[in-house]
Amino acid sequence: MQNANVALLSSAPFNTPIGKSVNDYLFCPQNLSDYQIGALQSLTLVNKAMVNARQPFSGVSPHRLAQQVNQINLATPAASFENVLSEVESIYLNNAVYFHHPDYVAHLNCPVAYPAVLAEQILSAVNTSVDTWDQSGGATLIEQKLINWTCEQLGFDSQADGIFTSGGTQSNLMGMLMAREQAVARYCPEHCVKHQGLPAIASKFRIFTSQLSHFSIQKAAALLGLGYESVIAVATDAQFKMDPTALSQAIDTAKLHGLIPICINATAGTTDYGSIDNLDQLAQIARQHAMWFHVDAAYGGGLLLSEQYRHRLSGIEHADSVTLDYHKSFMQPVSSSAFLCRNRQHFSHITLHSDYLNPLCEKDQGYPNLVDKSLQTTRRFDALKLWMTLRMMGPALLGEGIDNILALARQCYDLLYTHPDFEVLNDPELSAIVFRFAPAGLTNTTPDELNPAIRDAFLQSGEAMIARTQVAGAHYLKFTLLNPATTITDLQRVVQRISELGWALMRENQ
């Protein structure tokens, strides 16, 4: 019934000739009927692309697709809107990677909740920027309420605050920035980094993070003037969690060498294994050494909503700051992420008042200007997506999705563990499983040759999308499950194909 409606409306002629006048294309009441027709045609196209996506990717090579893209002359517009759409279809939609497809099991990309897609439409149309009250109005309050809600989920009290960011990378940068500032305040209290840049003592600052933590920690250290060498990679245990004993030893050793440990970054959901560091224990070590405690829950943050697995994040309430990606485990479209801080005072390190944008007097007048807490100035109103998702679904359903994904990961682990062709490295705490094709009786070839070849074959056929990783120099494959609609039957099919490909490649090598 609904589909029939869309089809009917979309067959209406779209009669704005391209190239009339600039005002004909403004998003304003006069042009809304044209927009509406265009919107329905676009939606029909997306619908067709998603229905037709029998596999997650076409497998096209970048070289072949580039030829098509390069042929398009941007100097002159297309002859009609239909032409624009068919161009988009052929270079983008037919060759996009579809995260809603059950055979997409590669990276940390989730299928999205459609209430969030509806929100995208609204927020882009209004084009709010949530930097200042006078560019956003109500949007600022919506974002702030979601930030407060997230802080409550973390177990933070009313001293906490936060901000939406572009992603975990930016959130981690903010976390490391606050760690650096706290250390300067402690070890060099007369110094103000904002005005004077880094003090000499900053060359002694050290950040401790597990060897499996996200590379954005290193990136942040470099951007903050501390350098890659300030990041000390701590060994992980058999469960791929930061080893607390190794951590304590590394801190002591650093101190012996006259270095200054300033921060522990715990990962709640490593990108490769989904392993969650022992937050309670690491928090205690951080407190003992007066270090900043940041928790990178970019991946694992979704557990906050799970009744069954929330306890796996126990200790996160002790964090000084937290990174959380709604675009990973809250079914949100890119981008949607947050940085949360247990004590809002720390945001003063990034506040800069400008006469034109957010003068200090406005703060006294009670106008909330979120730019005071953000690295960005003009900023998307991504919060509306999470807002509409929560208002339509409620947090419990999102949590149920997480429960289903974790249950699926366990079934998948059992499948691989009992399969004679595979070796599995981790019993998944979240939904990432690292494994490799390594059957007994391989001749003339090794798993290290076969596994990268298997992954390349999938990338070139597009029939399923799987990830790869390396463990101590050896090549592995990886599944990351974030789709609550994926079933074990889907995964059985993918595993079966990996096995078939593996054996076929082995025969080729003979």
The 349-388 contact track toward ligand PLP, x by CB under 6 A, reads ----------------------------------------
Distances (CA, A) of 166 to 15, 170, 171, 323, 324: 37, 6, 8, 11, 11
Nearest-approach distance from CB 298 to ligand PLP, in angstroms: 4
Cβ atoms < 10 Å from Cβ of 258: 7
| Residue selected from 136, 210, 218, 271 as contacting ligand PLP according to rule CB under 6 A | 271
If we measure between CA atoms, which residue out of 424, 407, 401 comes closest to residue 479?
424
Q: Total residues contacting ligand PLP (rule CB under 6 A)?
A: 15
Cα dihedral 60, 66, 71, 76, rounded to 10, equals 110
Applying CB under 6 A, which of residues 111, 162, 168, 399 lies at the interface with ligand PLP? 168
Complex with ligand PLP: residue 297 or 416, whichever CB lies closer:
297
Find the binding residues for ligand PLP in span 388-447 (CB under 6 A).
none
Which of residues 144, 267, 369, 374 is near ligand PLP by CB under 6 A? 267
Contact 362, 369 (CB under 8 A): yes
Choose between 296 and 490: whose C-beta lies nearer to ligand PLP.
296
* 337: contact with ligand PLP by CB under 6 A: yes
Give the residue from 276, 316, 311 showing the smallest Cα distance to 294. 316
430 within 8 A of 108, measured Cβ to Cβ: no
Distance CA 431, CA 437 (A): 19
Count how many residues are written for the chain.
Answer: 510
Pick between residue 298 and residue 341 the one whose CB is nearest to ligand PLP: 298
Kindly state the smallest distance separating residue 122's Cβ from ligand PLP, in Å. 23
**Cβ within 8 Å of residue 417, ≥6 positions away:** 424
Dig out the tokens for 252 from the structure. Answer: 């002591």
Pairing label, strands 231-234, 432-437? unpaired
Q: Quote the Cα angle for 357-361-367, to 5°.
A: 70
Pick the closer one to ligand PLP by CB: 144 or 165.
165
Beginning with the edge strand found earlier in the chain, give each strand of the sheet holding 467-471 in spatial order.
422-424, 432-437, 474-480, 467-471
Q: Rounded distance, CA 125 to CA 118, Å?
A: 11
Structure tokens at 78: 């297309």
* 301 near ligand PLP, judged by CB under 6 A: no
Cβ 335 to ligand PLP shortest distance, Å: 7
List the beta bridge partners of residue 264.
208, 293
Answer whether the bond into residue 11 is a cis peptide, omega within 30°. no
Pick between residue 274 and residue 399 the one whose CB is nearest to ligand PLP. Answer: 274
Under the binding rule (CB under 6 A), the answer on residue 167 touching ligand PLP is: yes
Among residues 167 and 447, whose Cβ is nearest to ligand PLP? 167
Distance CA 68, CA 370 (A): 43
CB of 89 to ligand PLP, least distance (A): 28
User: Which CB atom, from 115 or from 167, has the smaller least distance to ligand PLP?
Assistant: 167
**Nearest residue (CB) to ligand PLP, 179 versus 260:** 179
**Which residue lies nearer to ligand PLP by CB, 216 or 369?**
216
Q: How far is the CB of 457 from ligand PLP (least distance, A)?
A: 26
Q: How far is the CB of 477 from ligand PLP (least distance, A)?
A: 18
Where in 82-121 is the site for ligand PLP (CB under 6 A)? Answer: 108
99, 240, 299, 381: residue in contact with ligand PLP (rule CB under 6 A): 299
336 is a contact residue toward ligand PLP (CB under 6 A) = no
Least distance to ligand PLP from the beta carbon of 370, Å? 19
The interface with ligand PLP within residues 56-85 (CB under 6 A) comprises none
- Tracing tokens 């007994």 back to the chain, one arrives at 440
Position 325 contacts ligand PLP (CB under 6 A): yes
Query: Closest Cα to residue 374, out of 116, 219, 161, 92?
Result: 161
- Candidates 82-90, 148-156, 239-247, 265-273 — which segment interacts with ligand PLP by CB under 6 A? 265-273
Residue nearest ligand PLP, Cβ-based: 168
Q: Is the CB of 130 or the CB of 174 nearer to ligand PLP?
A: 174
- Binding residue for ligand PLP, selected from 10, 150, 210, 216, defined by CB under 6 A: 216
Residue 209 found at the interface with ligand PLP (CB under 6 A): no
Q: What is the DSSP letter of 403?
A: H
Cis omega before residue 335 (within 30°)? yes
The kind and range of the H/E element at 279 are: helix 279-288
Own/partner contacts of 150-156, CB < 8 Å, gap of 24 or more, are: 150/304, 150/324, 150/338, 150/340, 151/340, 153/304, 153/305, 154/304, 154/316, 154/317, 154/319, 154/322, 154/340, 155/316, 155/317, 156/317, 156/340, 156/342
The smaller minimum CB distance to ligand PLP, of residues 232 and 397, is found at 232
**Rounded-to-integer distance, Cα 77 and Cα 1, Å:** 36
Which span (126-134, 162-170, 243-251, 382-390) binds ligand PLP, by CB under 6 A? 162-170
- For the bound state, the minimum distance from the C-beta of residue 212 to ligand PLP, rounded and expressed in Å, comes to 9
Per DSSP, what are the bridge partners of residue 467? 478
Pick from 143, 272, 296, 382 the residue near ligand PLP by CB under 6 A.
296
User: Whole-number minimum distance, CB 416 to ligand PLP, in Å?
Assistant: 22
End-to-end distance of the chain based on CA atoms, in angstroms? 56
Give the bridge partners for 4, in sequence order: none
- Contact residue for ligand PLP among 101, 180, 206, 214 (CB under 6 A): 214
Q: Helices (H), strands (E): how many in the chain?
A: 17, 11
User: Contact residues for ligand PLP (CB under 6 A)?
Assistant: 108, 167-169, 172, 214, 216, 267, 269, 271, 296, 298-299, 325, 337
